[in-house]
Structure 1
Amino acid sequence: MLYVVTGPPAAGKSSWIEARAKPRDLVIDLDRITRALTGPGASQWDHDPIASKVGLRARYAAIDEAVKHLDDVDVYLIHTMPSATWLARYRRLEAEIVTVDPGEQVVRDRVRAMRSSAMDRVVTRWYRHYRGGRSQPVAAQASRDW
């Protein structure tokens, strides 16, 4: 099964996956991929632009390969704001789309405490895009202990 986990930054998407994925399952998370490609001491979330570009390419390759193995393993894919094109692709793959959203104020508090100020723009964009019925939260997940 393919699980596409969406939600604003700091919503608890990784925690939702950690509570469900088994060791053999595949987890495709751009932050984890980018961290794996950078040196010691690199930021956990505020990535260098070059590292981000390389990480994104690696993520695309991981998705392309992982979906070939859906009969054998579950794949958990974090995609904060999938476009209509990506959503159509995920639907063709019969993915379960999961939206993790503990609420805008909780997210903004977490971003303020843990992330760069640039991430606040992403939070605003996410809530503008997903408010008004385009997506309904199906899982409110408590995140890690911040």
Structure 2
Amino acid sequence: MLYVVTGPPAAGKSSWIEARAKARDIVIDLDRLTRAFTGPGAPQWNHDPIASKIALRARYAAIDEAVKHVDTVDVYLIHTMPSETWLTRYRRLDAEIITVDPGEQVVRERVRAMQSSAMERVVTRWYRHCRGGTSRPAAAQSSRDW
């Protein structure tokens, strides 16, 4: 099964997956990929343009390969704000689209603690464009310690 997990930054998408995925399952998470491509001491949410570009290319390749194996393993894909094009592709693949959203106030508090103005802008954009979309909301998920 392909699970596409959406939601604003700091909503608990990774925690939702951690609570469900088994060791053999595939998890495609842009944050984890970016960390894998950067050196020791890089920030957990690294938005360096070069590292982000490399991680994004790796993510596309991982998605293309992983969807070939959904009959054998579960694939969990974090996609914060999928476009209509991506949503259409995911629906064609019979993905279950999950939205993790503990609420705007909780998300904004978590992002404030991260001290990232870039993340704050993504939160604003997510709530402006994605709230109430076609995704099925998941129950509020406890996230990492922020």
TM-score range, shorter chain: over 0.9
Runs of 4+ in 1 over 6 A off after TM superposition: none
CA distance in structure 1 between the partners assigned to 2:59 and 2:136 by the alignment:
26
Match for residue 124 of structure 1? 124
How far is 1:116 from its partner? 1.1
Is 1:2–1:77's contact at 8 Å kept on the other side of the alignment? yes
TM-score by length of 1: 0.95
Secondary structure of 2:4's aligned partner: strand
Question: Does the residue aligned with 1:77 lie in a helix, a strand or coil?
Answer: strand
Contact 1:30/1:56 (<8 A) preserved: yes
The total of aligned residue pairs comes to: 146
Deviation at 1:107, TM superposition (A): 0.2
Structure 2: unaligned runs, 5 residues or longer? none
Q: Which runs of 5+ in 1 are unaligned?
A: none
- Cα shift at 1:118: 1.3
Quote the Cα distance in structure 1 between the aligned partners of 2:50 and 2:118: 17
Alignment-derived partner of residue 2 in structure 1: 2
Q: Does 1:37 align with 2:37?
A: yes
Tell me how far 1:144 sits from its aligned partner.
1.7
Aligned-pair Cα RMSD in Å: 1.2
Write the distance in 2 (CA, Å) between the matches of 1:66 and 1:11.
Answer: 24
Judged with a 3 Å threshold, the aligned counterparts in structure 2 of structure 1 residues 111 and 48 are, in CA distance, closer, same or farther, namely same
TM-score (norm 2): 0.95
| Identity across matched positions, percent | 85
